[in-house]
């Protein structure tokens, strides 16, 4: 099964993707995580990407698309995957269609995670992530057991530079301008499955599983 998970920054895409990848045994491809790993490793891609990410802007399509193409060609993607954070523009979605057509395959479903704007701003302000394993926490809704330490791996938990309030506004604007149009793009293909994440992740994931069942995918 090949899935895309779509939603505003802070909508809980990453959290839902982590649950679903276990449930359905999928490779989890988070472009944000790949960029952050490159930034940490000071690679040329990381240095270039950082200048955009820190401003709440999208990394240019050319860089992002070739990075994803490379990732999708790796062995662990053969059995199926969940794309988290890609595509984020119509150009990326079209490039993805082309990549997959070459391999005689296609995306089975696009999971659209829905959360109100006000709620998003609250959640992002409190978000903290583990430097080592990428696990996501929230100082209000889901604190770590020990302050600043990841429950899962003991890694250091920190606030992403782009989660500071000034940047969150810019990221939301970028989302509505560039990424929101993808909902319509995939709606036309009839492959959207919606999950409402205003209440809690369990409700959202249940809705998604039901939607996948209704489409005969699981």
- Which positions are catalytic? 13, 88, 127, 160, 171
Minimum distance between the CB of residue 174 and ligand ADP, rounded to whole angstroms?
A: 7
Q: For ligand ADP, give the closer residue by CB, 122 or 218.
A: 122
212's CB contacts (< 8 A; 6+ apart) are: 1, 109, 193, 218
Q: For ligand ADP, give the closer residue by CB, 62 or 103.
A: 62
Q: By rule CB under 5 A, what string of x and - marks binding of each residue 155-194 to Zn ion? A: x---------------------------------------
Q: For Zn ion, give the closer residue by CB, 140 or 152.
A: 152
CA neighbor of 53 nearest in space, from 69, 68, 70, 37: 37
How far, in Å, CA of 217 to CA of 120, rounded?
30
Residue nearest to ligand ADP (CB): 32
CA neighbor of 162 nearest in space, from 58, 54, 12: 54
Q: By CB under 6 A, what part of segment 70-89 binds ligand ADP?
A: 85-86, 88
Stretch of 5-13, 104-112, 115-123, 151-159 contacting ligand ADP, by CB under 6 A: 5-13
Q: Which two tokens stand for residue 5?
A: 């998970």
26 binds, among Zn ion, ligand ADP, none (CB under 5 to 8 A by kind): none
How far, in Å, CA of 2 to CA of 80, rounded?
5
Pick from 47, 133, 156, 214 the residue near Zn ion by CB under 5 A.
Answer: 133
| Partner residues linked to 112 by β-bridges | 6, 194
| Partner residues linked to 128 by β-bridges | 137
Contact status: 32 vs ligand ADP (CB under 6 A): yes
Q: By CB under 6 A, what part of segment 126-165 binds ligand ADP?
A: 162
Omega before residue 84 within 30° of 0, cis = no
Number of H helices, E strands in the chain: 9, 8
**Which residues here bind ligand ADP, judged by CB under 6 A?**
9-10, 13, 31-32, 35, 52-53, 57-59, 64, 85-86, 88, 92, 162, 171
């Amino acid at each position: 099964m090949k899935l895309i998970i779509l939603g505003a920054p802070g909508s809980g895409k990453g959290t839902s993707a982590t649950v679903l990848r276990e449930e359905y045994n999928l490779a989890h491809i988070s472009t944000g995580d790949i960029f952050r790993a490159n930034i940490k490793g000071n690679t040329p891609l990381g240095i270039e990407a950082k200048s955009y990410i820190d401003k709440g802007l999208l990394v240019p399509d050319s860089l992002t698309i070739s990075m994803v193409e490379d990732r999708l060609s790796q062995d662990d993607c053969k059995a199926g995957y969940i794309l988290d954070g890609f595509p984020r523009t119509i150009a990326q979605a079209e490039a993805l269609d082309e990549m997959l057509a070459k391999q005689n395959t296609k995306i089975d479903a696009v999971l659209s995670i829905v959360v109100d704007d006000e709620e998003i701003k609250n959640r992002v302000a409190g978000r903290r992530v583990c430097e080592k394993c990428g696990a996501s926490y929230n100082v209000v809704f889901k604190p770590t057991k020990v302050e600043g330490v990841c429950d899962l791996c003991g890694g250091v938990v920190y606030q992403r530079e782009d989660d500071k309030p000034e940047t969150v506004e810019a990221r939301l604007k970028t989302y509505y301008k560039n990424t929101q149009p993808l909902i319509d793009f995939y709606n036309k293909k009839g492959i959207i499955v919606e999950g409402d994440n205003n209440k809690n992740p369990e409700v959202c994931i249940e809705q998604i599983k039901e939607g996948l069942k209704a489409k005969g995918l699981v």
